[in-house]
Amino acid sequence: MDSGSANILFDAQVKRLGEAHSLILYWCSSAEGRSLKYNLTNCFDDLKSAGITRTKQTAIAAVEALATLCFVDLKDEGNRKNIYITRHGAKALEYLVKNSLFHSKPSSFLEDVSS
């Protein structure tokens, strides 16, 4: 695949991201920026408190979709599945921010840690 096609594919993938996906990218980036581990349970709690989903399955599905697109890495650490943003995920988030396609919402996990 040449770089032009790759870019087209990347744009198409990013445009298909929903609010849950972009928030997960944002929250896991913020956590990593503060040297915190952001796991699947934190992700579910945040999506739930943001009013986006009430089921853990949906949260897991959103994270797995991001992992499939290589936008996040899921790592089993201890008994937790921690989420790390990849370089592609960072580019995706940058695209969303710059094109005003993303509005942040607070993460109760990150707020609890800071207070």
Residues in contact with other proteins by CB under 8 A are: 26, 29-30, 32-33, 85-87, 89-91, 93-94, 97, 102-104, 114
Nearer to other proteins, 39 or 107 (CB): 107
CA distance 11 to 34: 29
What is the closest distance, in whole angstroms, from the C-beta atom of residue 32 to other proteins in the complex?
A: 6
Please report how many Cα atoms fall inside a 13 Å half-sphere around the Cα of residue 31, on the Cβ side.
26
Q: Are 52 and 19 in contact (CB under 8 A)?
A: yes
What is the closest distance, in whole angstroms, from the C-beta atom of residue 78 to other proteins in the complex?
A: 22
Nearer to other proteins, 29 or 42 (CB): 29
Identify any residues that bridge with 7 across adjacent strands, giving them in sequence order. none
What is the closest distance, in whole angstroms, from the C-beta atom of residue 55 to other proteins in the complex?
A: 26
Query: Going by DSSP bridges, is the β-strand pair 72-77/80-85 parallel, antiparallel, or unpaired?
Result: antiparallel
Nearer to other proteins, 33 or 55 (CB): 33
What is the closest distance, in whole angstroms, from the C-beta atom of residue 56 to other proteins in the complex?
A: 25
CA distance 77 to 99: 34
